Structure 1
Amino acid sequence: MLKTINQAVINDRPYLITLLGKLVEIPTISEPGVNYGRFVKVLEKECKKIGLKTKIIKVTDKKFINSLKEECRKNPRYILMAYWNTGAKKTLHFNGHYDVVPASLGFSKNPFKLNIKGDKIIARGAADMKSGIVAMLSAVRALKILKIKPAWNLEFSFVPDEEIGGYCGSGYICHKKIPKADVVIEGDGGGGNSLTVAHRGIVGFRVTVIGKAVHAALHTKGVNAFLKAVKIVNELEIFRNKIEKRKSKYYAKAPISKIATMMIGGLSSGGLKSNSVPDKFTFTIDRRVIPEESMKKARKEIVDLINSVVKKDGTFKVKIEVSEATHSSIEKDAPICKLLGSILEEYYGRKPLMLITGGRLDSAFFSQVLKKPTLAFGVNGTNYHADDEYTTGKDIITAAAIYARLMCKGY
């Protein structure tokens, strides 16, 4: 069956290229969140064309809207749900995000037009992850063409804001208990002969050190917030070496992806004038938390360390703001891992890799909030978030064929 499905997708290549072109041409940049409504209308039309029922959800809950930066709140957030009810006992849910990061200046051509070189497809969103959405719809279309009934009820969520945390996208539908899934496939991860079974969480800190401003000529009478921040950073750097000895049990192509990490100073600012002692200095900390660690403990370790420096010094104060995006994992012997793994082995002739990814995915909302087994598998790509981001037609076809086979094979 897999060969038959694969050939059907190959024969339908003009459709998937045309659809990807339509989606890429709508620049759905997550901050501030532009063109979301336009994109969802286009995608809904495509879903209906292949026989899926649809529902557009507008995020109206102020709790979620107010989590966005102020400049993003004026732009509505829309989620497109799509369904194929086959009367099966279980529902397989596919999730994909349609927002993209801004286009970098080094693109060789217009980043919001497909630039096709042989089989290579270059555009912002070509890899991350509008091609994944195309693969999902191509899989459905192939089954419709072949008149094959899926073994599951199929449910799809196409969401915004994954690139800025996902709270108004996957987070919204999961907290509102909208998906009726038994199993979830996250389309933003894996690819080729690999499955993403885990991703790290993030604890972000914004630390504001509060000192006392005086004229530079009298600097000993003030409290230099910058120098006090340096004291904190020095202790954090010592602790970072301890943190980064912690390793996950999951395999990673890039070794650092399985390590607990801490990066200090991604953003930093302070002071008003060069001849004044700075009374405030702010810096950020990006703490990547492996699945084996507790998010709560990871947060507490940093907060306690900072407070200990403040207490020992006694001359300054701090304000600590914390944000979190939890990690996610699934055991390699979970039924969905075995099922999708067997399909990949059938396709490639060898067992797939089971990976942890260094970034975060929306998987955590489905696994941690909905408590559903969630596995990430998508379209292979290159130059994510970078110049000349690209995927290939072959990679989209492969993902679509794998998705279609999974749709037909229940457990």
Structure 2
Amino acid sequence: MKIHDIMKNIDSKKNNIVKLFQNLIQIKSINPPGSTTEIAGYIKEYISEHGLKCEFYEQEKTKVNAVVTFSGNGNKKFIWNGHLDVVPISKPDGWSVDPWEGKIINSKILGRGAADMKGNIAAVISAACILADSSVKLSGDWILAFTADEETGGEMGAEYLVKNGILSGDACIVGEPTSLTKLGVGEKGVLWLKVKAEGKPVHAGVSFLGDNAIEKLYQFLTKLHKIEKIKRKHSKEIDKILSIIISESKRLKNTEFSKRFFQRVMNRLVMNVGMMRGGEKINIVPSSAEAIVDIRILPGMTHETVMEEIKEILKDSRIQGISFETVLTADSSYQNIDNPFVNFMKDTVSKGINIKPTLYMIPGFTDARFFRAKGIPTVIYGCEGENIHGVDEFITIDNLISTTKAYALTAMNFLKK
């Protein structure tokens, strides 16, 4: 079957694709706790009706990874990877709709995980099923990996599958939302750090005799923001990638935003105090307090380097009773943009859905780092999402269909007979 016919077939299946997407939103795969048992089971049942094989892999019970294989004739393997878990809803009263319904308003499909990333999951499942139903023959295996645990680091998801050789291939797409107009070739790293402060509890009426752990923690966190001013000289390869990204970003709609975005995000560390707790009672000087800090690390830097800088900030502050505990680390990763797979993706998408994607550096961290660490050429590409991790998260129906076409095209062209 010709590509043109496949594209028309996808258009004709729009209602089916939307319904699948809504069904995925309605399955609450919230992390924490991170169970993907129900949604993995739904995917296996759905794709089995189209003759595709699905296997489950678990490092820990309930953290189910579903690996679907569209078998072809040949040795090539093309991976699509995406995560099944979604973040919790921090402000349920702020939503204009039920976040677990997948309601459609003005051609927008709203729901938790709509953009991150059940829209892309619905798109790639639909693409694979439509190709299978159309008896399309591929010159190798198209492997769809639906993983657990990404929102808390990926140890029991993509990392487990890659390290144990369950996932391997010649190239990989990680289906995070990039607006279809951007092709992710790199990402920042992360350091999640628990900062603890110890104080001396006394009666609040004589607070001057104590040592307030909350105030001490606040003082240090204020000083810790100095970490954002640390500049890092990139390697020549990273400098080349960033210069091309900034140049190509001029083609994006909001050029001024793009310029400010890259200056702020790609040339400095970014810090966020995400959680805090402390104190025992209002009339007691707090004996302990702690915060969890999220620090996004520049390409070319390691979390060890950042940790040394943090220790220097603490030393200079002369604040006593502060200690650290590492919660999660992930170093930055990037794809050599001279790799043929990068141009393949740009050309395929440009010709197939008439969108010329610009190269892009992801401000967060993704499962792509696990594949790149194994030498698998990997890009990040997916739908246009709005309000990711926020209130009224959504993608549009048109974007969902375009994403389905993009995934079908990349598989057909990469595994061309």
| TM-score class, shorter | 0.7 to 0.9
Q: Does 1:115 align with 2:103?
A: yes
Confirm or deny: 8 A CA contact 1:206 1:285 kept in the other structure.
yes
Aligned-pair identity in percent equals 26
**How far off is 1:243 after superposition?**
4.8
Counterpart CA distance in 2 for 1:24 and 1:350 is 27
**2:51: which partner in 1?**
51
Aligned equivalent of 2:276, options 250, 261, 268: 268
Q: Does 1:39 align with 2:44?
A: no
**How far off is 1:99 after superposition?**
1.4
**How far off is 1:3 after superposition?**
3.4
**1:89: which partner in 2?**
75
Counterpart CA distance in 2 for 1:218 and 1:391 is 56
Counterpart CA distance in 2 for 1:265 and 1:45 is 41
**How far off is 1:187 after superposition?**
0.7
Residue type matched to 2:98 in 1? Answer: N
State which drifts further: 251-260 or 290-299: 251-260
Root-mean-square deviation over aligned CA pairs: 2.6
**How far off is 1:354 after superposition?**
0.7
**2:410: which partner in 1?**
406
**1:284: which partner in 2?**
292
Give the secondary-structure state (helix, strand or coil) at the position aligned to 1:105: helix
Confirm or deny: 8 A CA contact 1:262 1:285 kept in the other structure.
no
**1:209: which partner in 2?**
197
State which drifts further: 385-394 or 139-148: 139-148
Deviations 1:333-375 (A, max 9, x none): 222111010012213556321111222212112222x332211
State which drifts further: 77-86 or 1-10: 1-10
How many residues align structurally? 391
Confirm or deny: 8 A CA contact 1:79 1:158 kept in the other structure.
yes
Deviations 1:46-99 (A, max 9, x none): 121222111111223xxxxxxxxxxxxxx7211111112213222001111111
**2:397: which partner in 1?**
393
Confirm or deny: 8 A CA contact 2:124 2:407 kept in the other structure.
yes
Counterpart CA distance in 1 for 2:271 and 2:338 is 33
Aligned equivalent of 2:155, options 152, 167, 173: 167
**2:346: which partner in 1?**
341
TM-score (norm 1): 0.86
Mapping 1:9-408, distance limit 5 Å: 9-34=10-35, 36-60=36-60, 76-103=62-89, 104-216=92-204, 219=207, 221-243=209-231, 249=242, 250-251=245-246, 253=258, 254-255=261-262, 256-263=264-271, 265-309=273-317, 312=318, 316-322=320-326, 323-347=328-352, 349=354, 351-368=356-373, 370-408=374-412
**How far off is 1:390 after superposition?**
1.4
Counterpart CA distance in 1 for 2:223 and 2:101 is 48
**How far off is 1:263 after superposition?**
2.5
TM-score (norm 2): 0.85
Counterpart CA distance in 2 for 1:12 and 1:234 is 53
Confirm or deny: 8 A CA contact 2:232 2:298 kept in the other structure.
no
Confirm or deny: 8 A CA contact 1:58 1:79 kept in the other structure.
yes
State which drifts further: 211-220 or 89-98: 211-220
Confirm or deny: 8 A CA contact 1:151 1:409 kept in the other structure.
no
Gaps of 5+ in 1: 61-74
Counterpart CA distance in 2 for 1:269 and 1:410 is 50
Gaps of 5+ in 2: 250-257
**How far off is 1:2 after superposition?**
4.4
Counterpart CA distance in 1 for 2:101 and 2:64 is 23
